[in-house]
Amino acid sequence: MKPSGRDFLKDFLEKKFLEYNSPSFIESDPIAVPRSFEKKEDIEIAAFLTATTAWGNRKSILKDSRYLLQMMDNRPFAFLMEASPKELKPFNRFVHRTFNGTDCSFFLESLKNIYLNHGGLENLFTEINKIGVKESIVHFRKIFLETPHERRSEKHISDPSKGSPAKRINLFLRWMVRNDDYGVDFGLWREVYPSNLICPLDVHVVRVSRKLGLLSRKANDWKAAEELTINLRKFDPCDPVKYDFALFGLGVFEKF
């Protein structure tokens, strides 16, 4: 039987997935930042803050997120739990693109609230298998915003109920959930199934996906992220988001 175009595309994506899902990929990727930690809570906090700043120039992302964690003495969980108001003041000067000191201070206070009063970040996403990623992010956002904040900071926590593709939160979830022993994603959250994740809709991923016929929707919104993930599930129903490596790698490193 002659292989179909779908078979060729699957083989192509599998090849690229294996090529880019390797420790050599980490050095230039934002995941290198949380990869420098060992304690679960430190990894979660470092990963969430890094994913939050994961837009723009990759060198700038790495530089700024590392600096932010250095301000926390490279022990983010202990720092959040122990820091006095005086020790938090320097974060009012942190800036990464449109994420400024006001946003940063609020994020730290909100993360502290989540670990003190809501059982930590993982606990807010344990219902993904039952209610899906979209509703889980909406629930997470509601909890995150219960800490007093300025309205401007809300734009940094995506709302898929209003159409946002929630790229940075989906990236964070990929890091926390996927575990294939290739040494890139952490796989810390064992209760969430990789099959239920949604592919992060990075600008490079979008471009390559449309070129490969995996995405037809013109808007870069939540429905587009769902469409892409549905098509990727045809190649691997158990772990569709693994192809994020292939699509991103093709776009960034091969200018596909």
Whole-number pLDDT of residue 28: 85
Map tokens 């219960």 to a residue: 146
Q: What is the mean pLDDT of residues 132-144?
A: 98
Domain that holds residue 165: 5-252
Structure tokens that stand for 40 in this block:
């679960």
Q: What is the pLDDT of residues 29-54, one digit of tens each?
A: 999 999 999 999 999 999 999 999 99
**C-alpha R_g of the chain:** 18
Whole-number pLDDT of residue 1: 31
How many beta carbons lie within 10 A of that of residue 160, not counting itself? 24
Structure confidence at residue 10 as a pLDDT band (50, 70, 90): very high
Whole-number pLDDT of residue 193: 97
Structure confidence at residue 3 as a pLDDT band (50, 70, 90): very low
Contacts of 217 (CB under 8 A, 6+ apart): 223, 224, 227
How far is residue 14's CA from residue 17's CA, in Å, rounded to a whole number?
5
Structure tokens that stand for 195 in this block:
């099959």
Contact 201, 218 (CB under 8 A): no
Whole-number pLDDT of residue 6: 81
Q: Which of 20-24, 119-123, 190-194, 211-215 has the lowest mean pLDDT?
A: 20-24
How far is residue 113's CA from residue 107's CA, in Å, rounded to a whole number?
10
How far is residue 199's CA from residue 118's CA, in Å, rounded to a whole number?
26
The domain total for the chain is: 1
How many residues appear in the chain?
256
Contact 83, 90 (CB under 8 A): no
Whole-number pLDDT of residue 4: 52
How far is residue 256's CA from residue 253's CA, in Å, rounded to a whole number?
8
Q: Taking 80 as the threshold, does the pLDDT of residue 105 lie above it? A: yes
Q: What is the mean pLDDT of residues 95-118?
A: 96
99 φ/ψ angles, rounded to the nearest 5 degrees: -90, 105
Q: Which of 32-36, 58-62, 125-129, 220-224 has the lowest mean pLDDT?
A: 58-62
Q: What is the pLDDT of residues 194-247, one digit of tens each?
A: 999 999 999 999 999 999 999 999 999 999 999 999 999 999 999 999 999 999
Return mean pLDDT, the chain.
95
Q: Taking 50 as the threshold, does the pLDDT of residue 58 lie above it? A: yes
User: Nearest CA to 185 among 172, 170, 204?
Assistant: 172
Q: What is the mean pLDDT of residues 74-98?
A: 94
